[in-house]
Amino acid sequence: MNINEIKNSIAASVIIPPILPKRILSQDFDDFLFFDANLSSDYEFIEEIQRARKLAFREIGTDVVFLYASDLTTLAIVEGQSAWASGIEKSILAMEARNLHGGAIVADEQLSWIAVQSSPVDIGVLGVDFNKKGAREFFEHLNRSWFFSVSDAAAAIDTDLPLSKALGRSFLKELVANYRVSDATGGHGQNHEDL
């Protein structure tokens, strides 16, 4: 698949600008996890996604793309099994060169999963398409300490949990309404205490 085909697939899957808590990912994704790490520059977070991907997609060497979230400008393309740190470095340099200050989109070329964040300080969402080979395993291998789920958000709405205090009840209510998944596919995750 070439970069234009990948970008067209992503454009069909992501509502631009991708600002939560509104629904920004298409119905093709079966479950979602939310994060507050900086998708553009947090090496540990990107390494966690790569670790889970390597465990789940051992034999699938698809490329990973880094795009600018506001207009889908290509920032970097990284071979799936290569260190993704080079993608982050290329992305940072490309954004600095163009004086871009927005967020990023990171996805594999098959759109088995996609991570979207409108700006480095906003909550991001990771969506997974369980119909794609290896996607369920990828989802199960993700370290949940980086994420919170729809179920976590729903449980925090009428409480004084850190998640509710950090994001606010109205944000969480809208997030839950827009990303509710069936019990058969989702609701995974743990309470994210660092928000």
For residues 94 and 193, the model is more confident at 94
Within 10 Å of residue 182's Cβ, how many Cβ atoms?
9
Q: Does some domain include residue 190?
A: no
Q: What is the mean pLDDT of residues 115-140?
A: 93
Would the pLDDT of 81 be above 70?
A: no
Percent of the chain clearing pLDDT 90 (strictly above): 43
Q: Indicate the pTM of the whole model.
A: 0.87
Cis preceding-peptide flag for 17 (omega within 30 of 0): yes
Classify burial at 5, counting beta carbons within 10 Å of its beta carbon; exposed 0-12, middle 13-18, buried 19 or more. Answer: exposed
Residue listed under structure tokens 């789920």 = 149
DSSP-derived secondary structure letter, 131: T
Q: Does some domain include residue 140?
A: yes
**Cβ distance 187 to 181 under 8 Å?**
yes
Each residue of 135-149: pLDDT tens digit? 999 999 999 999 999
Q: Does some domain include residue 133?
A: yes
Would the pLDDT of 190 be above 50?
A: no
Q: Does some domain include residue 108?
A: yes
**Cβ distance 62 to 50 under 8 Å?**
no
What's the domain count of the chain?
1
- Residue 25 backbone dihedrals phi, psi, to 5 degrees: -115, 145
The H-or-E segment that residue 107 falls in is strand 104-108
Q: Does some domain include residue 194?
A: no
CB burial of 91-112 (b: ≥16 within 10 Å; e: otherwise) equals bbebbeeeebebbbbbbbbbbb
| Structural domain for 78, as ranges | 3-147
**Cβ distance 72 to 6 under 8 Å?**
no
Each residue of 8-58: pLDDT tens digit? 888 899 988 889 999 999 878 999 999 999 888 888 998 899 889 888 887
